[in-house]
Structure 1
Amino acid sequence: MTTTTQRRLAGAGLALSFSLAVSGCAGFGNLGTEPGVTTVTLASVNNPQMQDMAQLLPEFNKTHPDIKINMIFMEENDLRNAATKDVATKGGQYDIMTVGAYEVPIWGQNKWLEDLTDLAAQDPSYDVNDFFKPVRDGVSFDGRLYAVPFYGESSFLMYRKDLFEQAGITMPERPTWEQIAEYAGKLKDPSTDRAGICLRAKPGWGEMFAPLTTVINTFGGQWYNMEWQAQVNSPAYKEAVKFYIDTLAASGEGDPVSFGFTECLNLFSQERAAMWYDATSAAGSVEDPNNSKVAGKVGYVRAPVDKTENSGWLWSWNLGINAESKHKEQAWEFVQWATSKEYAKLVGSELGWSRTPPGTRKSTYLIPEYIKAGGEFAPLTAKIMSEVDPTHPGVDPQPWVGIQYVTIPEFQDVGNQTSQLLADVIAGRRPLDLALDQGQKIAQRAGDNQKQGN
């Protein structure tokens, strides 16, 4: 996730507006004191795609001089806490929020977000059906749209084509995890401090469990069954976790519990890992010759599997309108602009095609300039985004919609606590069986709340 959820720039602080950090930029932090001007406040995660949005605000102002957007950037955890508090208490401090795919269905059910279904359908050129269906479904509740996608991602395996060729290994188009573990063992090189594969193991439901839950799914495990009985210490869940930990120990990076998205990106980009399983949105950074030593040397294949046909995750950052906003009409004008087909082309033409928000609109993957900039990874990303199934990502059915997370309010805490237990296992401080039994109890308390309808 990410995400993505894990691609973070330095947080600007909970109350620091981007307009204050970048003084003199037109359209930033204008409080709307001029007659006839409405200020719309947007609480945003502080990541590159949203920074690009801020940079392009003058283009919005050209056609909407009566609307000023006041962007407030926060680090992801701060944003999640501040936005949740605002909508839950009906504070109405923020008109628009960047909301993750995990939160949207929960907030939609609680009526904390404005229902955008009819607004989105009013303008045929906006073309809601152009959004990848899994992404669109992920920001819906009861068939109604409660946010619109800004950028999205799934996951795939990135690998060094040059190292595979040197080792005489051919990567299958749809590899299994057993094959990947074998390749990682062959390509690990202690003499050059090169890992066979980089896998996230930093504690956190959005760090460790983003990739790990997809492994659990494809091994036949799951967080809960259809009766909301926790499955954390089930045989399939244990098999997947043990495989993940064993692969890290045999062929992964050193000190894996300190590695999340950013750390794996740096490791892989600096030629210190032969493979990396992570977000499709990472490819733009991997292929940036200004910052990556492996640009042009990387191949991409679908997420490895065990018992399922597909195994990629699904995440999106979305724009939602606070149900308590006093400026819903103006908020929608901006949301519509920032998630339109035209916006994707604007980013490409003004800032560079590799910076076009990925993973949301099918039409983006038909733009010739984007296809050229996207190389191998862009068409594969489009295929994966169409294939993933957040309603049934594993072997057995599940009572929620989501791949690398469970769409219940308690999951953030369940995932965080359980990931810390597993980090202790990886660090040799706790046996696996004990960690899974403890995680089972944590998860079951949340499952009991679902059984009781809380």
Structure 2
Amino acid sequence: MRHGAWWQALLLALVTGFVMTGCAASADETKDEIVVAIVSNPQMQDAMELQDEFAKAHPDVNVKFVSLPENEARAKITASVATGGGEFDVVMISNYETPIWAENGWIENLQPYIDKTEGYDDLDFIGSIRNALSYKDDMYSVPFYGESSFLVYNEEMFEKAGVTMPENPTWPEINELAAKLDDPDNGVSGICLRGLAGWGEVMAPLSTVMNTYGGGWFDEDWNPTLTSPETKQAVNEYVNLVREHGQPGAATSGYGDCITRYSQGNAAMWYDATAMVSSIEDPASSTVAGKNGYAPAPVMDTEDAGWLYSWSLAIPSTSDHKDAAWDFVSWMTNKEYIKLVGERFGWERVPPGSRYSTYEVPEYRKISQAYAQPTLDAMDGASQESSMTHPVPYEGLQFVAIPEFQDLGTRVGQQISAAVAGQITVDEALEQSQAYAEQVARTYQREEGQ
């Protein structure tokens, strides 16, 4: 397809060796061995621990995992799939990659597998997530969990400080609260925000801030807007907030680090993915379980400001074990898996935001009273119409759904992270980012005859 060659040329240099981790015993000659590449977030680690259950149901399939931090996983999975490397039989991707890779023929159409798998029930997937993982009305990846974004806050800290969370907070209000709650002498930051470089790290929350301030990546004519007054204001306020009242070492702090800091009581607030609830509400690992309040994503000039995202599973077209791969994919994304996680690890740990039926399970409804509805509300409100001030020529909220964005977002993320670290100013970071975006924009402006 149009962008296939571009991705292959760009990503060929990324291909490196892969480290295999965790899994079943060595395969014998009678078994299909599949290699599954996943992101090492907590919910995915649970899936690895449950492999004994998969093995019982599928004794003829041996699974090996490649489990890596988000940035590394993205690079390795993309490099392999885009170049036809064939290392993986199952890959964890998102609603950013799915339609692009489907168009390029890099991943399998899963709809035929879905339709012949009794009880799988793809119509149970939350509608916005199902649509985001489809290409020409067929699903090409299926959700492990889905998410938008919201703000969590420690109710005990708020009560002690004598402050109240607004029902629909704005970013200036969050800044004021963070200043009052910041207590570095006792190891507590006013807020935790991602600062780690990466299009799926710092640029995910920051892009939603840019959107609600009226800025963003491109205007309707593909003119980059990274140096617009609105974008500059948004980025300056984000960077200043995390530098003044955020966690120590924020420039190297991503989603995983914020989970740890917030769940151990080292931050009063955290704006991030709604999927955080599986970790921060788990009493086995979180000291703040049951002590949290939830507010919508902070806004400025829009009604909403959340994102829409799904970690999902796909089967590369190069796999030689597609049927076995689907056995694993369908096991890890069906209703019974969610029940298994709840019974084995606790209902707080189930992967959220993928299936409507999850929110109807009595045990989950009971423990998720504080955050189930805020999660669903955030996912329902995640649209460009409600979260942006102007139309744009691309799909996506916290990303730009074009193949070049993985490289562009990574470069811009590096600039922003450097600003968070105090190595350069925000203006310098955005000037360089604008130059990167202009190179990408030319392609789309030529295609539209501008």
| Aligned 1:281-292 pairs, distance under 5 A | 281-292=275-286
Post-superposition CA distance 1:185-236 (Å, at most 9, x none): 2222344343222222222222211111111111111111222221100121
Q: 2:417 aligns with which of 397, 419, 423?
A: 423
2:429, 2:20 → 1: CA distance?
A: 41
Q: 2:175 aligns with which of 170, 177, 181?
A: 181
Is 1:312–1:384's contact at 8 Å kept on the other side of the alignment? Answer: yes
SS in 1 for 2:327: helix
Shift of 1:175: 1.3
Shift of 1:346: 1.6
| Aligned 1:99-114 pairs, distance under 5 A | 99-114=93-108
| Partner of residue 337, structure 2 | 343
1:397, 1:312 → 2: CA distance?
A: 17
Shift of 1:303: 0.8
| Aligned 1:201-280 pairs, distance under 5 A | 201-280=195-274
Say what the alpha-carbon RMSD is for the aligned residues.
2.5
| Partner of residue 323, structure 2 | 329
1:195, 1:42 → 2: CA distance?
A: 37
Shift of 1:73: 2.9
1:214, 1:407 → 2: CA distance?
A: 15
1:355, 1:270 → 2: CA distance?
A: 17
Is 1:29–1:71's contact at 8 Å kept on the other side of the alignment? Answer: no
| Partner of residue 29, structure 2 | 33
SS in 2 for 1:433: helix
Shift of 1:321: 1.0
| Aligned 1:54-203 pairs, distance under 5 A | 54-123=48-117, 125-203=119-197
Shift of 1:258: 3.0
Give the partner amino acid of 1:16. Answer: V
Shift of 1:392: 6.8
2:384, 2:28 → 1: CA distance?
A: 41
TM-score scaled by length of structure 1: 0.87
Is 2:302–2:386's contact at 8 Å kept on the other side of the alignment? Answer: no
Is 2:226–2:433's contact at 8 Å kept on the other side of the alignment? Answer: yes
Query: CA 1:48–1:256 in 2, change beyond 3 Å: closer, same or farther?
Result: closer
Query: CA 1:451–1:329 in 2, change beyond 3 Å: closer, same or farther?
Result: farther
Is 1:134–1:389's contact at 8 Å kept on the other side of the alignment? Answer: no
Is 1:384 equivalent to 2:381 in the alignment? no
Is 2:192–2:247's contact at 8 Å kept on the other side of the alignment? Answer: yes
* Structure 1: unaligned runs, 5 residues or longer: 1-12, 23-27
Query: CA 1:119–1:187 in 2, change beyond 3 Å: closer, same or farther?
Result: same
Give the partner amino acid of 1:17. Answer: M
1:338, 1:447 → 2: CA distance?
A: 39
Is 2:359–2:365's contact at 8 Å kept on the other side of the alignment? Answer: yes
Query: CA 1:190–1:206 in 2, change beyond 3 Å: closer, same or farther?
Result: same
2:379, 2:122 → 1: CA distance?
A: 16
1:147, 1:391 → 2: CA distance?
A: 25
| Partner of residue 17, structure 1 | 20
2:431, 2:386 → 1: CA distance?
A: 25
Query: CA 1:274–1:200 in 2, change beyond 3 Å: closer, same or farther?
Result: same
Shift of 1:318: 0.8
Task: Report the identity percentage.
Answer: 43
Give the partner amino acid of 1:363. Answer: S
More deviation, 146-155/390-399: 390-399
| Partner of residue 4, structure 2 | none
| Partner of residue 4, structure 1 | none
Is 1:138–1:402's contact at 8 Å kept on the other side of the alignment? Answer: no
2:219, 2:428 → 1: CA distance?
A: 21
SS in 1 for 2:217: coil
| Partner of residue 449, structure 1 | 443
Query: CA 1:225–1:354 in 2, change beyond 3 Å: closer, same or farther?
Result: same
Detail structure 1 runs of 4+ shifted over 4 Å in the superposition. none
Shift of 1:449: 2.5
